[in-house]
C-alpha cells in the first residue's frame, strides 16, 4: 500500500500552507485526496504520494 500523508506532512514537503490545501479541497480542485468519514461531520484527510506526483507532473508549466 502507498504511504498516505497527512495535510501537515504534505504541506511541509511541498512548502504549501495547510490552509491552502484545505481551501483547494473545499473548492474541489488541487491535489487529489482521500477522506474517511468518522462519526461526526469531520473526517480524516490523507494524500497518496503517487497521486501527488501524478498531479504535479500533469500540472507543471515550463517557462520558455
Helix (H, G, I), strand (E, B) or coil at 48: strand
Q: What is the pTM of this model?
A: 0.82
Spans of all domains in the chain: 4-58
Number of helical H runs and strand E runs in the chain:
3, 3
CA-based torsion, 45, 51, 53, 59: positive or negative: negative
* pLDDT tens digits in sequence order for the chain, 64 residues long: 678 999 999 999 999 999 999 999 999 999 999 998 776 667 889 999 999 999 999 998 876 5
Tell me which residue has cell 491535489.
Answer: 31
Amino acid at each position: 500500500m502507498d504511504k498516505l500523508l497527512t495535510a501537515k506532512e504534505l504541506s511541509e514537503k511541498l512548502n504549501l500552507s495547510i490552509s491552502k490545501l484545505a481551501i483547494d479541497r473545499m473548492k474541489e480542485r488541487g491535489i487529489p485526496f482521500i477522506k474517511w468519514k468518522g462519526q461526526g461531520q469531520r473526517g480524516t484527510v490523507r494524500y497518496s504520494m503517487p497521486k501527488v506526483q501524478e498531479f504535479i507532473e500533469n500540472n507543471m508549466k515550463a517557462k520558455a
